[in-house]
Every structure is written in C-alpha cells, then in structure tokens.
Amino acid sequence: MPAKKARHQPPIKVLLLIDRLGAGGKERQLIELLKGLERRREVECRLAVLANQQTQLLHSHFPDLHKLDTPIYYLDRRSAKDISAFGRLYRLCRDFQPDILHSWELMCSVYALPLAKLLGIRFINHTIQNAPARIGFLSRVWLRSRLTFPFSDVVLANSRAGLKAYRAPARKSAYIHNGFDLERIQQLQDPQTLRRELGITTSRVVGMVGKFISKKDYPTFIRAGILLLQQHSDLTLIAVGDGPRLAECRKMIPPAQRECFKFTGNRQEVESIVNLFDVGVLATFTEGISNSIMEYMALGKPVVATAGGGTGEIVLDGQTGFLVKASDPAALAAKIGYLLDHPGKSQAMGQAGRERLIGEFNLQAMTHKFTELYQQLAGSKPS
C-alpha cells in the first residue's frame, strides 16, 4: 500500500503593525524579523504602518526596507486622534484574514485590539522595548499598558528586564532577544576613506550610536569624553544620531575640545562608522536589548555601557565589556580609558562579544523563536 503524502500546511498569516519606521531600535528589530521570515515558508507576513506613505518616506532611515518582498500598507493616519485609520485597518484585516495581529507599539495596540476581539484574531502585544527603572502610575505608558495587557494573547518583550519593569502578567508573558543579521557587515566602506570624510585624524576613536532624546544619556557620554581628553590627546569621540537634544549637547563641549567631537547626525552606513571605533559606548537611562550594542559586538568592539535594564542580558561585565552606574561620567571614562590603555584586553573582550553575538543573538535564532511563537499561538484559541 503506497504511503500517504504529507499534507502541505498553509502558512500562518501574520499582520504586523507599527506607527512608523523611523530611526530606532524597535524599527530595526522589525525589519530584521521581516528579513528572517522571508526566508521561511511557515509564515506569511504583511506590514501595516499607521503613518501615511509620504510621511514615512521622509522619516525612513533603513535602506533594507526597500529590499523587502513583504507587502507594506500605509494607513494614512494624519494625527494621533485620526480614527479613520481604524476603518482602513479593518478592511485590511478583512481582506488578508490574518491568524495573528502583532503590534509593535502601544498606540498601535489601542487601535488593533478592538479589531482582534471583533474578528477573533490572536493578538501579540509587543510594546515592551525598554526596561525603565520606574514607570509613573499615571503616565500614558502605564495606563495604556494596563488597558491592553489583559486583552492580549501574548505580552512580548525583547528582554526579561522589560517584562519585570512593566509588571507584565506572567501567564501570558514572553521575551525574545533581538537578533543581528551578519550580512549587514559584509560590505563596509573603506575605513580610511570614511575617516577622511568625517575629519578623523587621531589614531583612536570612541563612539556612541543613539538618538539625542531624553532616554539616551548623551550628556554623560560627553562629560566622560571631556575627562578622557585630559589623559588621551590622540582621541576622537563620535556621536551617531540626531534628535531634539543634539544642540544642547553640542553646547556642553569646551571650545578647546570641540574639534575632538564629531556629530554625524543620522547615517545609513552606521556599521561602517562603528567599524572605526576602538570602544563602543552606550550611556542610557532605559534599555531593552540595544541594537547599538549588537552592532558594536558584531564588529568585535568592546562595550562600555550603563548597567540596568536588559543590557546585562547581552553584555557580560568583565568579559565582553564593562557595565557602569548610570549618570557617572567618571566611571564611564575610567572604563573606556582602561580599554584604550590595554589594547590586548580590549581586543580579547571585543572578540568574546562577537562570539557571543554570533552564538546567541543572531538573526536565525530570533526568527526561529518568533516562528515558534506564531505556531503555538495559531494553534490556540484567542484570549
């Protein structure tokens, strides 16, 4: 008797939802996930962006976005209170008939949850991307979390620390660490050409990648840099990013040291700039799993970062870099200075970090965990 042919299982349909694809960690993780899922057959994805297409094009900082085969729909939300986007999201759900709605932001969850309940779609509330030490009980973030968590099938974070910080309900909580696509560092710009373009003439470079916003502690990075320059004259400090606090941070630098600091603004070739670093720094107040730290590690750079949040889940203190207290420029400068003065130790830490990233924070591992989550959720009843 001939063996029965295995039935072909249709792919799980997942509709991902985000406000816009600006420069940021969650946006980078989303694009990396879509890249990974396009290589698998188990999941069929579509992406809905609340912003209109013209606004999105103005704020997009990811060249990989245009290489995706995943269909992208712009819901043309013109303001925070534009409820007409709700109707467009409803029509998209009706036409695509997703098995899972996967929201990447709290406001998206507020939009999407009523539809998920109305249409019987399983809902992933993937809004925890950081791990603040304190969340105000009357803040919008806390109130929206309390409103949406009970009605979600899964509350997802990118770190264990994030779930703890937001007090996510244990019975429906999960975390998946960010993953890095090593193809991003296969075609780096020539270092000497990039040095000339950025005006770097020193032999050593220390840099930080991140937005100039209140959650990133660039003032501490700058103060630490000023201290370092008192002992290391052959040093350039680079800040990669833009934001509302950029101007005030520039003003912190004494006139005699301004030539030692380079502010690049938003750049698409971030990995090529990181490749110039001797030490990668992240001074911050709240963090989940930092994409900047993963970029440092992928390129074999030792990390000096603020302790707290999910940073300790990726940086092993004393092995792949150093963790220091928040808002302590002297401690930050001391650890960076140690690595500059001990190049052998610095190189060993950077190599250990690269091996850790390849082994535990790679794109394949992240994609596999998301696929498993989708499969488990698709086989269950909606919450």
Per-residue pLDDT of the chain (383 residues; tens, 9 = 90+): 555 554 567 899 999 999 988 777 888 899 999 999 999 999 999 999 988 766 555 555 666 777 789 999 998 887 767 778 888 999 999 999 999 999 999 889 988 999 999 999 999 999 999 998 888 777 888 888 889 999 999 999 999 999 999 999 999 999 999 999 999 999 999 999 999 999 999 999 999 999 999 999 999 999 999 999 999 999 999 999 999 999 999 999 999 999 999 999 999 899 999 999 999 999 999 899 999 999 999 999 999 999 999 999 999 999 999 999 999 999 999 999 999 999 999 999 999 999 999 999 999 999 999 999 999 999 866 65
- Going by their DSSP bridges, the two strands 122-128 and 100-103 should be labelled as parallel
The total domain count for the chain is 2
5 domain-assigned: no
Residues 240 and 318 in one domain: yes
Interacting residues of 89 by C-beta distance below 8 A, sequence separation 6+: 17, 48, 75, 111, 112, 115
DSSP 1-22: -PPPPPPPPPPEEEEEEES---
Query: How much is the pTM?
Result: 0.90
2 domain-assigned: no
254 domain-assigned: yes
Nearest one of 72, 25, 28 to 47, comparing CA atoms: 72
110 domain-assigned: yes
State residue 381's pLDDT score.
61
Residues 204 and 148 in one domain: no
Looking at residue 53, which CATH number applies to its domain?
A: 3.40.50.2000
**Domain ranges, residue 108:** 12-179+363-378
The kind and range of the H/E element at 49 are strand 43-49
State residue 8's pLDDT score.
63
Residues 170 and 208 in one domain: no
75 domain-assigned: yes
Residues 191 and 326 in one domain: yes
Residues 270 and 161 in one domain: no
- Going by their DSSP bridges, the two strands 72-74 and 43-49 should be labelled as parallel
Angle separating helix axes 106-119 and 140-148, nearest 10 degrees: 20
Residues 282 and 134 in one domain: no
Residues 126 and 245 in one domain: no
Residues 208 and 156 in one domain: no
State residue 82's pLDDT score.
74
Residues 150 and 231 in one domain: no
6 domain-assigned: no
319 domain-assigned: yes
Residues 46 and 77 in one domain: yes
Residues 307 and 346 in one domain: yes
Cα separation of 271 and 357, whole Å? 15
1 domain-assigned: no
- Check residue 308 and give left, alpha or beta (phi > 0: left; psi -120 to 50: alpha): left
Residues 290 and 367 in one domain: no
